[in-house]
Structure 1
Amino acid sequence: MPSSVESASCAGSAPLTRPGPVPWIAMYHSVGDRTDDPYRITVTPGRLERQLRWLRTRGLKGVSVTELLAARGRGEGRGLVGLTFDDGYADFLGNALPLLTRWQCTATLFVLPGRLGGANAWDPLGPRKPLLSADGVRRVAEAGVEIGSHGLTHVDLTRADEATLTAETAESRALLSELTGAPVTGFCYPYGTLDPRAMTAVRAAGYRYACAIDPGPLTGPYALPRVHVGQSDTAPRLFLKYRLHRLRRRPVEGLR
Structure 2
Amino acid sequence: MYHSVSSCTDDPYRITVSPYRLDRQLRWLRGRGLSGVSVGELMRARAAGRAAGLVGLTFDDGYTDFVDGALPLLRRHGCTATVFVLPGRLGGENAWDELGPRKPLLDAQGIRTAAAEGMEIGSHGMMHTDLTTADDTTVERETKQSREMLADITGTDPEGFCYPYGTVDPRAIKAVRNAGYGYACAIDPGALTCMHALPRVHIDASDTSVRLFLKRTLNPLRRKALPPEPQVPSDAGAEAGEDEGAVGSGRTGGGR
Q: TM-score range by the shorter chain?
A: 0.7 to 0.9
Q: Percent identity?
A: 66
Q: 1:247 to 1:77 in 2, by over 3 A?
A: closer
Q: Equivalent residue for 1:173?
A: 147
- 1:81 CA displacement: 0.4
- 2:141, 2:185 → 1: CA distance? 18
Distance of 1:157 and 1:186 partners within structure 2? 16
Work out whether 1:226 is the aligned partner of 2:200: yes
Deviations 1:210-248 (A, max 9, x none): 000000100010110000000000001001101112477
C-alpha distance in 2, partners of 1:211/1:147?
13
Moved more, 68-77 or 237-246: 237-246
Q: Deviations over 1:139-169 (max 9, x none)?
A: 0001000000000000100011111011100
Q: Distance in 2 between matches of 1:247 and 1:148?
A: 21
Q: Are 2:85 and 1:111 equivalent residues in the alignment? A: yes
One-letter amino acid matched to 2:108: A
- TM-score normalised to the size of structure 1? 0.87
Q: Are 1:131 and 2:127 counterparts?
A: no
Q: Which amino acid aligns with 2:34?
A: L
Gaps of 5+ in 1: 1-26
Distance in 2, matches of 1:44 and 1:156, equals: 27
Q: Which residue number in structure 2 is paired with residue 193 of structure 1?
A: 167
In structure 2, the CA distance between the partners of 1:84 and 1:247, relative to structure 1 (3 Å rule), is closer
Q: Which letter does structure 2 place at the counterpart of 1:102? A: R
CA distance in 2, matches of 1:203, 1:248: 24
d(CA) in 1 for partners of 2:12, 2:223? 29
Task: Work out the number of aligned pairs and report it.
Answer: 230
Distance between the aligned counterparts of 1:99 and 1:252, measured in 2? Answer: 31
In the alignment, does 2:38 pair up with 1:73? Answer: no
- Deviating above 3 A after TM superposition, structure 1's stretches of 4 or more consecutive aligned residues are 246-252
Q: Where do residues 84-123 of structure 1 align in structure 2 (5 Å cutoff)?
A: 84-123=58-97
Instruction: Give SS of 1:33's match.
Output: coil
**Structure with greater proportional helix content:** 1
Separation in structure 2 between the aligned mates of residue 242 and residue 223 of structure 1, nearest angstrom: 20
Q: Does 1:164 align with 2:138?
A: yes
Match of 1:48 among 22, 28, 33: 22
Q: Secondary structure at the match of 1:220?
A: coil
TM-score in terms of structure 2 length:
0.87
CA contact (8 A) 2:126 2:145 kept: yes
Match of 1:28, SS?
coil
Structure 2: state its 5+ residue gaps: 229-239, 242-256
**Would you say 1:30 and 2:39 are equivalent positions?**
no
* Residue 227 (structure 2) pairs with residue 253 (structure 1): yes
For residue 83 of structure 1, the aligned residue among 33, 57, 60 is 57
In structure 2, what is the Cα distance between the partners aligned to 1:207 and 1:251? 20
- Read off the aligned partner of 2:180 and give its amino acid letter: G
- For the aligned residues, what is the CA RMSD? 1.3
Query: 2:222 and 2:70 mapped to 1: Cα distance?
Result: 29
In 2, the alpha carbon distance for the partners of 1:242 and 1:105 equals 18
3-state SS of paired residue (1:159)? coil
